[in-house]
Amino acid sequence: RAAASDTLATSYILACAIGKLPHDIVLCGRQAIDGDTAQVGPQLAEKLGIAQVTYVEELASLEDGTIELRRNVGNGSELVRAKLPLLLTVMDTANTPRPPAAKRLMKFKRARTAAEVAAEVAEQEGQDADARIEALTGAGLFIEQWDLDTIEADLTWCGRSGSPTKVHRILSVVLTGGEYKEFPPTDDGLRGLVAELIEEHTIG
């Protein structure tokens, strides 16, 4: 039901979910690698009714409900001070991820959702799903799942019906080597290069 959501529908769904939880800082990436729109974070902040700081590279300080951040502005950076609650979109240069801990990886391989517990209980007679979920919860290994009903989302704002952007076609463009021309490093050569680029509509 959430499939084919564009940025507007995606931010609506996320806002419904986050709105059910107490929040002071909402962290988002700068943009996804598929659409590259960088719209979901700002749209989410708007729907939550909180301020936003984009392109964050460093958290300088956090004290008494006030946060100080350094954000990238292209050819430099600026220091921003803001009050919480706040949404941040974070650059990939903000942190060097720590290496994964092998013990934690092994531990969380045992984590389960309710659907996975139900499937395992169905295969093994004599097990109680509620008891299994309680044990997993106590060990910090139960993964709670929410759906659109859980977050009380209006389905007309989700998925394709809630998305004004429609993708009609996706093309895979493969660039291959072909013919090339050489232009001499002279005034005439430069004029010839510019004329060809204009003719091919590469530049206007």
Listed by start position, the domains of the chain span: 7-157
Beta partners for 71?
Answer: 56, 78
Longest dimension (CA), the chain: 87
User: In which residue are the tokens 């080597």 written?
Assistant: 177
Question: What's the CA angle centered on 90, arms 26 and 31, to 5 degrees?
Answer: 100
pLDDT of residue 66: 96
Read off the pTM. Answer: 0.76
Give the C-alpha separation, 52 to 88, whole Å: 6
Does residue 79 have a pLDDT over 70?
yes
The predicted pLDDT at position 180 comes to: 80
**CA 97 to each of CA 61, 94, 101: distance values in angstroms, whole numbers, following the listed order:** 20, 9, 12
How many helical (H) and strand (E) elements, i.e. helices and strands, does the chain have? 6, 7
Q: Which residue has the higher pLDDT, 150 or 171?
A: 150
Cα–Cα distance between 66 and 25 in angstroms, integer? 11
Residue-level pLDDT at 204: 66
Average pLDDT over residues 164-181: 79
d(CA 121, CA 141): 16
Type of residue found at 195: A
The Cα–Cα gap between 4 and 78 comes to: 36
**CATH code of the domain occupying 7-157:** 3.40.50.620
